[in-house]
Each structure stands twice: as structure tokens, then as C-alpha cells.
Structure 1
């Protein structure tokens, strides 16, 4: 069903939503001849596993993501190629996880990725009050996240899975810099057609970070990511999920009706401009949400009394050349089928977090639809 639906979508719009050309050459020599792999897994899903590895020639640490090429009897190489293409495009941006190299065997493709030792931002969302981030820290991490999102959006890439598990830190103490990961659900969006259905499975749309347009199968755009940014900021500042209900039905209703608690009790000690920032993102109509670039100039992110020592200047986000984009469209790789594989949330960031949520309930039952993740690097 998922495959046929995606094919119909592609035929209708007459445009690629997955990139099909990459510049990275697949190495076919033995991965284990070049890397030492640690026995402990960083994460696992039905069709992928991530382990820490060390490059023998340099001694550098990486995260190796082993991804099966066929899942449930279907060729899923197209999804992997798309993921690699997006990582290549974002290589110049320091806010996106770096792809080191790629190996291919008979049954799997191995992505050798940057190792982010600080773990998931999710762990900061569930920390006790005395361990929670200060508003100043949230601003710094959010500015960095937005720098990466601006770059993606200017290159017509919508991430579609921005959540705390997919935003990593280079170090935990001291608090490091942001790395955006997991491009398994990312898609190309532009003005040549509408992108609507991205998964074909009902479970995805009842996920805590899904925007109303995903639930309603309305057109998806870069503004869809901005809804997720609003949810992320809400969680970082309050430790609570704005839409979590007692069950999936209630969560669905909360998202559809934009039922958000902005009470003083929930936002105790949080500045008014921070709340106003969230309110400009958690808006039902996508066209009324503030975009990523405008977010960087919002008064809250410019507040000197909260920022303290400001971070590095905003990285210029120059879109890739038309020639580069054209090359992605016109050089298909043989034997690639349209993306028919979806990604298991558990593999978005590493092994299941050992941190038990203390300030909000995170329902793992929403993970059932995805079979693999994008990058997770611990």
C-alpha cells in the first residue's frame, strides 16, 4: 500500500521528492579492515543498527550505521541514497551531522557518520528542574538548530522529523554544539507541485511532533518543520509536551485544535517573549507561522540579558547552485525504486534513552510505523 501510494504521488506531481544522485562513492572493500567496531550498540531497529567505531588509520571515532538494503522484500536503496544526498548537500553546514564515507556489501549499506558524544537534546527535556537548561542555554541551542534548518529550507529540503531525539550535542559537559540528524523522512519541496503523503501509515500522523497538515494530509512545506520547532522549544522550556494526551485520539485532537497550555504555572520563570515566540510557531495554518530565518531575528533570540555571551555569528546559508540541484535530478542510479521504506523512531538517536522521563510522558507506542531511522550518533 505504501509503495503504490508513493508511486501515485510521484506520478501525479511529475517531480522527484527523493534525490537520486550522489557524489559519494560506495566503498566495497571490507569495512572491518578499516574500522574497529565496539561491541556495544548505540541503537537498533528492525532494519538498522548503529555502533561506535574507530578508524584504524587515524584513530578517530565515528558512528557506523548499518542499513539493510531490502526490507520486507522491497528494495529500499532509494531512501538510503536520498539520505546520503541530503547529507552531501549539507556538508558545508556545521549544524548538520557530517557524513565521512559509505560502504556497501551484498545486503547492507554502512554510513560512517560524525560521532556526537553529548547525546540527544531529549535528555535535557526530561531532566529534573535543578538540572534543566536555563533560558539562555535554550536560546543558544535553538539559534544553532535554526541555522541548520534555514540552510535546509533554502535548499528546498524539509526535514519532517525535527524532535529532541534528532538533535544531538557534540558534548554534554560543558554543553556542546548542535548537530541535526535523521534525514530518513526528509523530502524535497519546491514550487513545482504539492507534497502531501509522506508515509502512507496512520501511526506516523499521531506522533507528538506532527503538524496539523500531516494529520489532515494537507500540503507539506518548510513551515511544517516550524511547527516541530515550536514543540521543541515548548519542551525545552517547560519539560512538558504541549499536545500529549491520555491516548492517541486525545493527542490527535489536541494537535488538530492546537490545544496548548500557556499558563503561568507551566511557564514559571520563563520570559514573556519566549512564550510569544512559541505562539508564533504553534499556529494551525502553515502560512501564518514564522519561518526559520525570521525566527533568528525574533526579539527573544536577540535578548541580550538572556543571551549573555552571544554565540558565533549566523552561518551564511547559501543555497546550492542550480547546476548541483539539476545533477541530483538527472543522474538516477540504476535499480532504485521510489522510496518505500519508512523509519523507526527508535533509531533516531541511539539506544533507548536510559533517562526516565520525569516531567512529561513520552509514549513509545507512537514508534511502531517506522522501520529505520536516519542518523543517530551518540
Structure 2
């Protein structure tokens, strides 16, 4: 979608699959399946995106998602895009496979094993490291939630991989950006009020995610959508002693600084990395407030509480201008022999990018 990112598309036909889409999982506009590289046995996640949704051409939005992944390619906190294929009706993104699943699984109250606050500190730091890089490129994710943050492994607890950039936007391309979009219980107040969106919107979601990891509760979810919206708009958050009995004061302070109605009062991603809660333990920051968080600085690093309800989106800027809609060549003559699809495998993630193109 952005001219300056030059997304690279490799044109291939659909990788062959013995039993079609049996056992695949997906939302209304995307399906993710596990695949294996024939030559190496390496596992990947293949995300199938329809080029037309609800009767509208969505190729520009797919190019946008590819462009973001290309820009963040060397960032270890963002899921890596390996290759892109095409069929007559779909574009398939072959992505890094995150075997640990969603961090949402760490937010449910009936877990046999609860991770320590020290582990949560590490995960939140890593999410912020990825977010810092996105924001330096003026990209807002706009759908950060525990379901869109994966782990490289679960036992031992691995590293964060941020996924699903279908709702993301590049701020300078849209002018003053206003959206009604996202997942109900994670929406920031400015989205509900149809106020301008900035990078601070993503920081609200960091507060929600941190709250959920620490308390195994969703801070704003109500009995219905209307109650959830009211809780968000009034910032009704339970900070009671009962809820935070096993949570440290610095962690509580961190959340309270993020779950603030005024976006301008929230700290930036880089500021958050300097918070005392995230400074505990022996960790090495990729970046501090005075340093850059761009992917080139990071390349040397070794490496559901309620049913989701997604809200349709609309853009008040120029992000859907005709000049942004690049055409994907329709040549499907080359058949890929590098990947096979195995229907006996379990699929890692159900991506729902439910927005109007």
C-alpha cells in the first residue's frame, strides 16, 4: 500500500494440498494453516487472504500488510514473512511458525500453571520492543490483543511474535486518521469517540494486555457490548486489592499510566521501556528513549475471557486512494513445489482481520 516500502511479491500458484481445506481454521476473510518446506522440513504458518471480500477488491490492503511485514523483516519481535504466493482468488503469506501459540492462553483464570510476574515483565518488554519499531515507522497496529501476540515456544516460555497487521495503518498516508474498528473489549476510548488515532492508541492496548496477563481478567468486558463500551468510555477499571492481591505496586502503576482516557497523557512505547516495573531483573533493552528502536538495531539479537466481536472499519483519510491500489499479476502458471500442506497437523492461529476495504 505504501509506495516507499516496495513490497516484494513472488507470484506462484497455490501450493498443492491433498485434502483441500479440511481441518483448517479461519475468520471471515483469512484462514491460517500450518505447512512444511519440503526441502528442509521447516514449519511455517500459511495465511490465506481473499483478494475480494464482500464483493470489493482488497488487493491494496493485502499489499499493505505485506509491506509492513517487509519493513519489519529483521525485527525479531514481529512475525517474519518468508514468502508470498498467489492463486486466482487468494494471496498466501508464508509466515514464521510460532509453536507456543497465543499469549491469550496465559490470560485464562483456570490455568494449571501461572507464569510469574518476572516472566510477564519479559513478555511485555518484548511486545513494547516490537511496538517501538512500528511506531518509529509511523505504523499503528490497531488490533493488539493477546490473540495477536504469539510465542516462539511455550515450555520453556519463548519469545514474543506480534502478528496480524490487517488493520494496521501508516499514519502519514491517512492524514488525520479516524477509525471505528478493532475488537470490542480492546478498543481505546478515542476509537469509540471517533477521535483522531495516534500511536498512543496502541499503548492503551498494552495496558489491557498487561492487566490480563497479571490478573487473568479482562478489564473492560461487560455483560453486553453496550456495557463494555460504557466501561471503556468511563475507564471503569477494577484496581481493588482483591484483584491485584498478587500483583506488585510497580505493575499496577504501569497499567494505570496506560489506561488513561486522554491519549496525549499516555507514555510512548519507548517511555514505557524505562518504567521501573520493566527495569527489574537482568534484562538488556534493545532500545531506550534516547536510542533508535529500528529493526537494523535489533538484527543481532539471539533469539478467551469473552467471545470476540469485531467492528467494521472506515478511514477518513486517503489510505484507500486509487493510486495506492497496485495490481497483483494474474499469472498462475508457476506451481510451487517447495511446500506441502499436511492436514494431520494442528493449525497455530485463527486470524480475523474483520475490516471493510
Q: Which range, TM-score by smaller chain?
A: 0.7 to 0.9
Gaps of 5+ in 1: 1-17, 321-328, 337-348, 353-366, 373-378
The offset of 1:22, in angstroms, is 3.3
When residues 133 and 211 of structure 1 are mapped into structure 2, their CA distance, relative to the original with a 3 A threshold, is same
Gaps of 5+ in 2: 297-320, 329-347
Secondary structure at 1:26's aligned position in 2? coil
In the alignment of these two chains, the number of paired residues is 309
Aligned to 1:272: 249
* 2:47 matches 1:70: no
Q: CA RMSD in A?
A: 2.8
When residues 92 and 38 of structure 1 are mapped into structure 2, their CA distance, relative to the original with a 3 A threshold, is farther
Aligned to 1:23: 7
Distance (Å, rounded) in 2 between the aligned partners of 1:24 and 1:58 = 23
When residues 24 and 242 of structure 1 are mapped into structure 2, their CA distance, relative to the original with a 3 A threshold, is same
Distance (Å, rounded) in 2 between the aligned partners of 1:300 and 1:26 = 44
Distance (Å, rounded) in 1 between the aligned partners of 2:19 and 2:254 = 43
Pick aligned residue for 2:215 from 228, 232, 238: 238
The offset of 1:26, in angstroms, is 2.5
Instruction: Write 1 or 2 for the structure with the bigger share of helix.
Output: 1
Distance (Å, rounded) in 2 between the aligned partners of 1:37 and 1:57 = 21
* 2:160 matches 1:178: yes
Distance (Å, rounded) in 1 between the aligned partners of 2:132 and 2:29 = 31
The offset of 1:121, in angstroms, is 0.2
Distance (Å, rounded) in 2 between the aligned partners of 1:167 and 1:260 = 23
Aligned to 1:97: 79
Secondary structure at 2:186's aligned position in 1? coil
* 2:354 matches 1:370: yes
Distance (Å, rounded) in 1 between the aligned partners of 2:174 and 2:20 = 46
The offset of 1:370, in angstroms, is 1.7
Which structure has more relative contact order (CA 8 Å, sep 6+)? It is 2
The offset of 1:28, in angstroms, is 2.3
* 2:123 matches 1:141: yes
When residues 271 and 129 of structure 1 are mapped into structure 2, their CA distance, relative to the original with a 3 A threshold, is farther
The offset of 1:318, in angstroms, is 2.6
Structure 2 matches for 1:251-262, cutoff 5 A?
251-262=228-239
Aligned to 1:318: 294
When residues 38 and 273 of structure 1 are mapped into structure 2, their CA distance, relative to the original with a 3 A threshold, is farther
C-alpha contact (below 8 Å) 2:142/2:202 kept by paired residues: yes
